Amino acid sequence: MAVAEKPHAVCIPYPAQGHINPRLKLAKLLLCKGLHIIFVNTEFNFLSTACLTSSSIPSPTVFLRPTSTPPKTSLHLICDSTSKNCLAPFRNLLTHLNDTSSSNVPPVSCIVSDGITTFTLKVAEELGIPEVLFWTTSACGFLGYVHYSHLIGPTPLKEQQTNCRYTCKEWGIGMEIDNNVKREEVETLVRELMEGEKGKEMKKAAMEWKKIAEEATRPVGSSHLNVDRVKNEMLLS
């Protein structure tokens, strides 16, 4: 497919390392599936993170400069500055990319941004470009945010009992201890974990869950199939 005919996705992460790494992997995956990718990063993250070398990020990469803050500034100030000051630079970037007279890349067909980079939603709405929000939290964490208002009930019940049941009974990767924790009980459980039959069963269960997770990320696994669905139903629709 000619470059001008390729679907063009602009990927922009939230400027924190736990958000950048998953976005890099997604950008590379979309690149392998035939999309033209522009990866938007901040100079702060590129200069302060040794792992983001030229060979580890998709090409081309565009750097936004939300402030003139030096790299030694604390991360939370950079994140705050990005949220407040990147709307105009991001709008200018997309306008430039869609200007056929000055841009040598295909028009932007979609934006893949972080779930908390809200300024990209404003730009996408202004320019009429579809946008997909990519959440870097786990599915469980995401559902927790979605249903957060429903979790606050009249009785402040905690989730420890549920977590304990799933970890110990359903998943088989944990051992329960009494509320009145004593040194002898901890020692007994640690020895059972390291040397006992229960520990062997837990290690076996952990390896089985690991195998399931690895199979999901293979080319024919559920994760890859879901990425294909997102690409076909949302990014290319």
Q: Which domains does the chain have, with CATH numbers?
A: 3-141 (3.40.50.2000), 158-214 (no CATH)
Using the structure block, give the residue that is written with the tokens 């705050």.
80
For the stretch 67-103, pLDDT in tens is 555 555 666 777 777 777 888 888 988 998 888 777 7
- Are the CB atoms for 11 and 38 separated by under 8 Å? yes
Q: Rounded to 5 degrees, what are φ and ψ at 120?
A: -70, -30
pLDDT at 50: 46
- pTM > 0.75: yes or no: no
For the stretch 155-196, pLDDT in tens is 656 677 888 888 999 999 999 888 888 899 999 999 999 999
Residue 78 to residue 148: CA distance in whole angstroms: 27
- Are the CB atoms for 36 and 65 separated by under 8 Å? no
Q: Catalytic residue, from 8, 19, 80, 228: name it.
A: 19
pLDDT at 106: 84
Q: Rounded to 5 degrees, what are φ and ψ at 130?
A: -60, 145
Residue 76 neighbours by CB distance under 10 Å = 9
Of 229, 222, 227, nearest to 31 (Cα)?
Answer: 227
Q: Rounded to 5 degrees, what are φ and ψ at 174?
A: -145, 165
How big is the CA angle at 104 (ends 98 and 109), to the nearest 5 degrees? 40
Radius of gyration of the chain from its Cα atoms, rounded to whole angstroms = 23
Q: Catalytic residue, from 114, 150, 224, 228: name it.
A: 114
- Is 19 annotated in the active site? yes
Question: Is the pLDDT assigned to residue 197 strictly greater than 70?
Answer: yes
Residue 94 to residue 131: CA distance in whole angstroms: 13
DSSP-based three-state secondary structure for 19: helix
- Are the CB atoms for 120 and 131 separated by under 8 Å? yes
For the stretch 165-174, pLDDT in tens is 889 999 999 9
Using the structure block, give the residue that is written with the tokens 């991360």.
75
